[in-house]
Amino acid sequence: MIKINEHFNKLQASYLFSDIAKRVSRYQEDNPDKTIIKLGIGDVTKPLPPACIEAFHKAVDEMAGEEGFRGYGPEQGYDFLRKAIATADFKARGADISSAEIFVSDGAKCDTGNFQELFSPDSVIAIPDPVYPVYLDTNVMAGRTGSFSDGRYEGVVYLESTRENNFVPSLPHQPVDLIYLCFPNNPTGSTISKEELKTWVDYARQNKALILFDAAYEAFINDDSLPKTIYEIEGAEEVAVEFRSFSKSGGFTGTRCAYTVVPKACVAYIADGTPQSLHGLWNRRHCTKFNGVSYPVQRAAEALYSPEGKQQAQALVNYYMKNARLIRTAMSDLGFTCVGGDNSPYIWIEGNMDSWKFFDLLLDKAGVVCTPGAGFGKCGEGYIRLSAFNSFENVSLAMDRIKNSLA
Ligand code: MLT
């Protein structure tokens, strides 16, 4: 008899964003005349930067000839991209990360979801609440949690991010092994200072723990005093893996390209306490389960590091950040307490009502889709998240509609 992995049965009925998409299409079927503005899932709407398009075309043309044709590429990514990443994203910030420590992939979602495979099933995980659901669900699938009751999985150490702690969780009170952190934060839009991040790195070093640092939104940081990478913190290379993505900064949500940094100094331990390099383990896993991102996509990603590409990507970021400011101002003017939108494309809004009720209200009265905070965890109850990823015209219209319907 073939048996299923029963840990899957502990998961909530469906993935948050699929659940929302179903509700929205049901609403659209019932209200075919209404135009809906989506500020829910953070999916980009602007086309790829021209520098990427040009590089893409060129690479496809290369693939059309016997000489330029390429089959399987290196699983870790082509050197041209890994070198560009190490130089611009790390060395330029004073972080000593080499190209050999970069693993190019098809998404930070997959990488943040897959990385937990390297660790023992009995590892104690610390997960923020609210949180991007992928970190939690993949640990549930792996059997690292008990069952779900009263909005929480047993056995998980929840790191509460609330108005009281400015949405930056405090260190756990009990020992934990694997810590997920995301800054600028999805969903709350909060940021972390270098001093605060240092307390986490110090904790991980003292407790032989590992930090999985999701920096997918670093491009949206305006405040230069904030860390863009965890490797700006001394000693982080021993205790932290970092996830990055071109999805939001380069418009690659549909094109798929991201990378994970696994420093050679970073270790986990075998049962007798002997340290083992995570770089070697991840490399083994990556080569077994992944065959690399396509050559044209990697050339397009490389183009984001050219002088024109940098400018064009910055223009995309600026465009969405103008939306973010508009959302934050409009919602604040309506009397809501807001976080984010200054160094992040997400605005976390305290709704003073059940968050699914607020979701239904905005959809019904304004035809605007948000993400209900409760979908990100128990501490998200009472909040909604609005995303800045849409056209400026749609965001302006959405804000007008919300003003009219809530006034
Ligand atoms: C989000 O809306 O939280 C993100 O777009 C989801 C993702 O990047 O997978």
Confidence of residue 381 (pLDDT cuts 50, 70, 90): very high
User: Domains along the chain?
Assistant: 6-47+308-406 (3.90.1150.10), 53-306 (3.40.640.10)
Report the atom number in ligand 1 closest to the C-alpha of 132: 3
- Residue 277 Cα, ligand 1 centroid: separation in angstroms? 30
Ligand 1 center–CA 43 separation, angstroms: 7
pLDDT tens readout for residues 72-107: 999 999 999 999 999 999 999 999 999 999 999 999
Atom of ligand 1 nearest to the CA of 216: 8
Tell me if the bond preceding 50 is cis, omega within 30° of 0: no
The pLDDT value recorded for residue 148 is 94
Residues in contact with ligand 1 (CB, 6 Å cut-off): 41-43, 109, 132, 186
Q: What does DSSP say about strands 102-105 and 337-340: parallel, antiparallel, or unpaired?
A: unpaired
Reported in sequence order, the residue ranges of 20-114 that DSSP labels E, i.e. its strands, are: 37-38, 102-105
Distance CA 101, CA 77 (A): 11
Neighbours of 22 (CB within 10 A): 11
Lowest mean pLDDT among 9-13, 132-136, 253-257, 330-334: 9-13
Q: Please report the pLDDT score of residue 60 as a whole number.
A: 98
Question: In the structure, how many helices (H) and strands (E) does the chain have?
Answer: 12, 17
Residue to mutate (ligand 1; options 132, 246, 347; most atoms within 8 A of CB): 132
Arithmetic mean of pLDDT over the chain: 97
What's the gap in Å between 187 CA and the centre of ligand 1? Answer: 9
pLDDT single digits (tens) 310-358: 999 999 999 999 999 999 999 999 999 999 999 999 999 999 899 999 9
**pLDDT, position 13:** 74
Specify the pLDDT at position 171. Answer: 98
Nearest to 217 by CA among 187, 260, 241, 185: 185
Residue 381 C-beta-side C-alpha neighbours within 13 Å = 6
Mean pLDDT confidence for 262-284: 97
pLDDT value of residue 14: 76
Structure confidence at residue 352 (pLDDT): 87
Length of the chain: 407
Q: What is the pLDDT of residue 50?
A: 98
What pLDDT was estimated at residue 126? 98
Q: Closest by alpha carbon to 210, among 162, 305, 275?
A: 275
Note the pLDDT of residue 217: 98
**15 pLDDT tier (thresholds 50, 70, 90):** confident
Q: What is the rounded average pLDDT of the residues 32-43?
A: 95
**Max CA-CA distance within the chain?**
65
Residue 134 has pLDDT above 80, yes or no: yes
The DSSP code sequence of 388-400 is --S-HHHHHHHHH
Q: What phi and psi values does residue 257 have, to the nearest 5 degrees?
A: -160, 135
